[in-house]
């Protein structure tokens, strides 16, 4: 997998811990980690849509749509990093999430793993939204917007897990308002 411009550490290694949130470096580390989580989620949703032969057409379509939103999140975060002069390649990241997700053998297994990942991501982003609100409101707003989207992804995942059918009509694309987003 080509993860460039991210620098990925060896499978047995852990990425270096984020520096203090009170520093510019700490904000940079969180932006980079969040961006790479989005990168992995983007890749994993498209991988699942392609490979999970037990998934319904509706589920594959939902995965593709959500995957493209993860790509938008990635671009929001990369855009903010560029504005702050943060280099993607300055510190390594771990692709453990991706490696775990692609071990899935069935659609329910993938859905459950991804749901956990989305919930953890959402909780982290919510906490950054609050803790950065005063010091860096622009970054805080980006984390907040992504947290809100992840809440929707979780709702879609839960509806699909309950056997609901997702259609393009009841899941409006957010592509349009991203054009005028915080970048």
Binding site for Fe ion (CB under 5 A): 38, 70, 73, 118, 150, 153
DSSP 23-71: SHHHHHHHHHHHHHHHHHHHHHHHHHHHH-TTS-HHHHHHHHHHHHHHH
CB of 171 to Fe ion, least distance (A): 13
The Cα–Cα gap between 137 and 72 comes to 20
The Cα–Cα gap between 101 and 7 comes to 19
DSSP state letter for 91: S
CB of 74 to Fe ion, least distance (A): 8
DSSP H or E segment with residue 127: helix 107-131
CB nearer Fe ion, residue 65 or residue 73: 73
CB nearer Fe ion, residue 55 or residue 114: 114
CB nearer Fe ion, residue 30 or residue 134: 30
CB of 80 to Fe ion, least distance (A): 14
CB of 38 to Fe ion, least distance (A): 5
Helices and strands: H and E segment counts in the chain: 6, 0
CB of 37 to Fe ion, least distance (A): 7
CB nearer Fe ion, residue 29 or residue 38: 38
DSSP state letter for 8: B
CB nearer Fe ion, residue 60 or residue 73: 73
């Amino acid at each position: 997998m080509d993860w460039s411009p991210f620098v990925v550490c060896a499978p047995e290694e852990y990425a270096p811990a984020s520096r203090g949130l009170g520093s510019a470096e700490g904000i940079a580390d969180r932006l980079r980690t969040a961006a790479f989580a989005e990168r992995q989620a983007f890749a994993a949703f498209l991988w699942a849509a392609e490979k999970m032969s037990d998934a319904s057409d509706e589920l594959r379509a939902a995965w593709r749509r959500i995957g493209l939103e993860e790509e938008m999140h990635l671009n929001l975060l990369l855009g903010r990093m560029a504005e702050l002069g943060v280099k993607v390649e300055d510190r390594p990241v771990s692709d453990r999430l991706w490696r775990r997700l692609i071990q899935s053998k069935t659609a329910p297994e993938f859905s459950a793993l991804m749901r956990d990942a989305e919930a953890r991501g959402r909780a982290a982003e919510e906490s950054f939204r609050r803790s950065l609100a005063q010091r860096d409101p622009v970054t805080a707003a980006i984390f907040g917007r992504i947290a809100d989207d992840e809440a929707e992804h979780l709702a879609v995942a839960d509806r699909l897990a309950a056997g609901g059918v997702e259609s393009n009509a009841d899941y409006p694309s957010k592509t349009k308002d991203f054009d005028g987003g915080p970048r």
